Structure 1
Amino acid sequence: MIQKVRARMIPLLGLSAVLACSSVVQAAQPPAPALHDDNPSGNFGDWYTGAVPPQASNGKPVILFVQGLHSNYNTWLKTDGYYEAAYKAGYRTAFVQLKDADGTGGDMWTNGPKLAEVIKKVANYYGVSQINIIAHSKGGIDTQAALLHYGAAPYVNVVHQLSTPNKGSELADMAYSDWTSWLADILGKKDDAVYSLQTSYMANFRTQTDSKPGVSATKTYMSGGEGDDGWFTAYWFAHAVLPGEDDGAVSVASALGLPYGIKSFTKNISHSAMTTASQTWSLVQPKLALGKTTVAAAALQEENLSAAPQAAPAVSENSSFIMKGGSLAKGSAKEVFPLESGLGTISLDVLTAKETTQVTLTSPSGKKIPLNPAKSAEKDDAVLFSDAVHHTLTLENPEKGNWTLELSGEGDAYFMLARPEGRVKGQIKNARKQYKQGENAQIAVSFDGAGKLEDTQAKKAKLTRSGGKGIAKSLQQAGEVNLQTAKNEVLLNFKAPTEPGVYNISFDINGVNERQEPFTRSVNYNFAVTDEAGKVQ
């Protein structure tokens, strides 16, 4: 097509048209990567090699791109993507298909060994001893598994992570909470990949991984985003849940949470924009490097060890929300919750699986407010609940008293996240993420601005096992909880289950503020119980 355009324009515009069309040719997308079809029955394990640029040289490293949660290698092939940028910069490239490319996501123990195989194949294909890896999101965790658990570390000298949840994601915790579990089931958000991203599961992965010899032999750069795509998109919901600064999918504290990693950059962009070349390639490219000789590699490891303590500090988990959720199996549901006076605003996001589900909020004075579905944002598979229907509302100076949320619909489920902006602020403090079987455990939740806390709702705390079958059980009914309340703090003492796995404890805290007005806030605590070998199932 370009040649035909040039043929018509040359008689009219002369040499200037030739030069203009030549620039168009140079700006075109690079040739499509070539498939190495190692899995004829699926995508998992396939890999691709990019076209070799005319200006490629042995003076530049080979780059293997590893995509993230629920993604495939097309992550890197988009317009203004990393393949285009790397090709134009003269790099030889390769791409991998992990289990996520076949539908449901795989955990690091599934993706890691396959990625290790592909790393060796790529190095052998290009005839190099070591390659560089650029990994987006969960792809950075799969890369750590490949290097440190499945023997690929000698073949990789530089890894650059793009917003990798090194400490897990509170969004994954939420997928297994008592409030959201029904909706997550309908949306199909519970798979091995999401399970492995729960914060307690990742704490155990860090325990298993970070103590391994040679963790710093590969220089690992970390980066994180601090932006989202605006109010009441899927990113806003994630932004509300995640602690501290985040990119709408991964908190900065998690992205910079690799103890031996080296901070590369943070930028005010969203999670998906981290793989946009015009946004981040110029920040990543200077970190790419050729493999080292044996002597230089030893010096590099020493350098990495001295540069490593740059991880972000821990951030307390937020408990300043009101959360409700459940099934619409009977066609309708009603939730009642109090709001105290003095709130500047309250923002609500009611998630459902179907647009046809009707959602109405009724004020204490009887005013009915319909919550209509928000305009659909671009779906991002790396953001949990991005494909849910978001019914949104923000109220300024909301009326005090009992508010009622009513839903009607068939074959659906719902989850309400409300964020009141007022004096009462809740935080889970210094919570442990791992316990031994049957060990005594404790959660401390503080509430600044609270007058007096009541323990009746907290005593109804429900324990759910992530990935387990059956309904949540009440810890109080099982006689497994001892609750203590002070003026502005709740201590929940309980005994860890005897069955290894990942668990969530979900409960509400009720209280009265200094004006003797009732308020409520919700708490979800994610923790793991390890087996005798110190691992999580």
Structure 2
Amino acid sequence: MIQKVRARMIPLLGLSAVLACSSVVQAAPPPAPALHDDNPSGHFGDWYTGAVPPQASNDKPVILFVQGLHSNYNTWLKTDGYYEAAYKAGYRTAFVQLKDADGTGGDMWTNGPKLAEVIKKVAQYYGVSQINIIAHSKGGIDTQAALLHYGAAPYVNVVHQLSTPNKGSELADMAYSDWTSWLAEILGKKDDAVYSLQTSYMANFRTQTDSKPGVSATKTYMSGGEGDDGWFTAYWFAHAILPGEDDGAVSVASALGLPYGIKSFTKNISHSAMTTASQTWSLVQPKLALGKKAVAAAALQEENLSAASQAAPAVSENSSFIMKGGSLAKGTAKEIFPLESGLGSISLDVLTAKETTQVTLTSPSGKKIPLNPAKSAEKDDAVLFSDAVHHTLTLENPEKGNWTLELSGEGDAYFMLARPEGRVKGQIKNARKQYKQGENAQIAVSFDGAGKLEDTKAKKAKLTRSGGKGKVKSLQQAGEVNLQTAKNEVLLNFKAPTEPGVYNISFDINGVNERQEPFTRSVNYNFAVTDEAGKIE
């Protein structure tokens, strides 16, 4: 449980440092922020004001820091954090506690109005007409809701987003897929916040938000991370799922996906490192502005460019994976999947909730290979599935034929993500994210190197609805896949459900390559059905 902190002195992190053969005493860290306890029974709606620096100047704006997914205001108070950097630079600061600080994450419709209240309180406290906001991750979405849906825009001059999923996250989609649903439930990764970050839900939020008058009145700067912490770290699963460059939680395409946003920077760091002062403060500070004054000269050139020219290019959703998953309610599970010849390698990440669950892979020739849990990595609450147990393996030139995955464990669930490196490459193309109730819909999945697609047989696709409280229920079978072989495309035609909400269609494509060898690839497609008013729920 997060403890409410009242004003106090934080102990010195270091007393001296040697520079150029002489001892130099470091400046003391700033005093802890003072609590404004507006919610005595919890944290949601509380806010803090930072200590006013001795060199504070009215020529510098007040900064309100907004937390991200499953986080709290301590995001900004860590060693090498933004609070200390802003204090030393002479800025007056404030911090907010959103619903996530009480445990379960809140969506933008819950956090937005509360954030709007705090924005006005901070401006009044410091006696200014406008403030600046620096928001990490989903905090940027909550900020947009506060400004454009709950009336806080007149009080904010500049917003700087640090890796905000403006177009949602495919990781949130996966939390509600047929394969991962059991595991996500056990790990507690289904709440209103994760639900709202599904790509189709965010497409609907963009529709509701980006057409509002005055969207450009507040300058919004976008930034994204491109950090890669290596294979089979807590971030590897995210790097595999997210399209294009990403920081382990948000793709660059999503982070730079605000139509009226201004690109600030991208950097080769992870999602959590975006809030590390030594990594990004120097890139953010020149964009901060006071009232109606012009932004720093370094930002003017970016502002004069069209947002479209700066946005990340669109990327197609990858369907080059093999996915399996389900419950271990009966104690064991078995999955069989074919691999074609000619694969340079295959990498597997089998996720479970418990480290005691046994995972074994058996080759077509009968060789048994245990998959041991990967070395523990630092957990990051903003990165979905980072706290799962990752059983990992990479095989070079894997044997062709049927492979068998076997699991044994009690009260657990599993998800296997396999990435074969070969000629068969699949992508979901031109997939719409929103449909009207009962509208005819179609998914197109293109395959390169698949050989004779007319021999492809696909399992019946499973259509599931993502419940706002984390529940998923099966509604219907979406039908067999229809093929168009001339364009190497697999087409799935279906009718959008009549109940508004967010849905996933999960299915496997089983085919043959040019050597008449069977292969399989998996597809997860996330879409929304809107009501007559154009909203989801």
Residues 1:505 and 2:515 are matched in the alignment: no
Contact 1:443 1:493 in 2 (8 A): yes
Q: CA deviation at 1:21?
A: 15
Give TM-score scaled by structure 2 length.
0.92
Q: Deviations over 1:286-309 (max 9, x none)?
A: 000101179999999996795565
- CA distance in 1 between counterparts of 2:501 and 2:456 reads 28
- CA distance in 2 between counterparts of 1:283 and 1:164 reads 16
**CA distance 1:28–1:17, shift in 2 (3 Å):** closer
**CA distance 1:343–1:31, shift in 2 (3 Å):** same
Contact 1:85 1:277 in 2 (8 A): yes
User: 2:399 aligns to what SS in structure 1?
Assistant: coil
Q: CA deviation at 1:452?
A: 2.0
Match of 1:18 in 2: 18
Q: CA deviation at 1:67?
A: 1.0
Q: CA deviation at 1:5?
A: 28
Q: CA deviation at 1:453?
A: 2.9
Q: CA deviation at 1:228?
A: 2.5
- CA distance in 2 between counterparts of 1:258 and 1:297 reads 22
- CA distance in 1 between counterparts of 2:160 and 2:531 reads 33
Match of 1:107 in 2: 107
Contact 2:482 2:493 in 1 (8 A): yes
Q: CA deviation at 1:8?
A: 26
Match of 2:203 in 1: 203
- CA distance in 2 between counterparts of 1:300 and 1:203 reads 29
**CA distance 1:12–1:227, shift in 2 (3 Å):** closer
User: 2:509 aligns to what SS in structure 1?
Assistant: strand
Contact 1:228 1:270 in 2 (8 A): yes
- CA distance in 1 between counterparts of 2:5 and 2:252 reads 48
Q: Deviations over 1:302-328 (max 9, x none)?
A: 967955652222110000000000000
- CA distance in 2 between counterparts of 1:436 and 1:13 reads 57
385-394 or 472-481, which deviates more: 472-481
Match of 2:81 in 1: 81
Q: What RMSD in Å do the two structures reach over aligned CA positions?
A: 5.2
- CA distance in 1 between counterparts of 2:14 and 2:419 reads 64
Q: Deviations over 1:221-266 (max 9, x none)?
A: 0000001222111211100000000001000000000000000000
Contact 2:185 2:470 in 1 (8 A): no
Match of 1:125 in 2: 125
Q: Deviations over 1:89-143 (max 9, x none)?
A: 1100000000000001000000000000000000000000000000000000000
12-21 or 22-31, which deviates more: 12-21
User: 2:70 aligns to what SS in structure 1?
Assistant: coil
Residues 41-440 of structure 1: pairs in structure 2 closer than 5 A: 41-292=41-292, 309-440=309-440
Q: CA deviation at 1:516?
A: 0.9
Q: CA deviation at 1:366?
A: 0.6
User: 1:4 aligns to what SS in structure 2?
Assistant: coil
**CA distance 1:296–1:447, shift in 2 (3 Å):** closer
What stretches of structure 2 of length at least 5 have no aligned partner?
A: none
224-233 or 435-444, which deviates more: 224-233
User: 1:273 aligns to what SS in structure 2?
Assistant: helix
- CA distance in 1 between counterparts of 2:335 and 2:403 reads 8
**CA distance 1:306–1:238, shift in 2 (3 Å):** closer
Q: How many residues align?
A: 537
- CA distance in 1 between counterparts of 2:183 and 2:456 reads 27
Contact 1:218 1:301 in 2 (8 A): no
Contact 2:6 2:34 in 1 (8 A): no
Contact 1:69 1:137 in 2 (8 A): yes
Contact 2:288 2:296 in 1 (8 A): no
**CA distance 1:525–1:345, shift in 2 (3 Å):** same
Contact 1:323 1:522 in 2 (8 A): yes
Q: Deviations over 1:337-362 (max 9, x none)?
A: 00111111111000000000000000
**CA distance 1:397–1:536, shift in 2 (3 Å):** same
Give percent identity, aligned residues only: 97
Give TM-score scaled by structure 1 length.
0.92
Q: CA deviation at 1:496?
A: 0.3
- CA distance in 1 between counterparts of 2:279 and 2:35 reads 28
**CA distance 1:158–1:470, shift in 2 (3 Å):** closer
Higher helix residue share: 1
Contact 1:464 1:471 in 2 (8 A): no
- CA distance in 2 between counterparts of 1:121 and 1:392 reads 49
113-122 or 465-474, which deviates more: 465-474
- CA distance in 2 between counterparts of 1:299 and 1:23 reads 37
User: 2:289 aligns to what SS in structure 1?
Assistant: coil
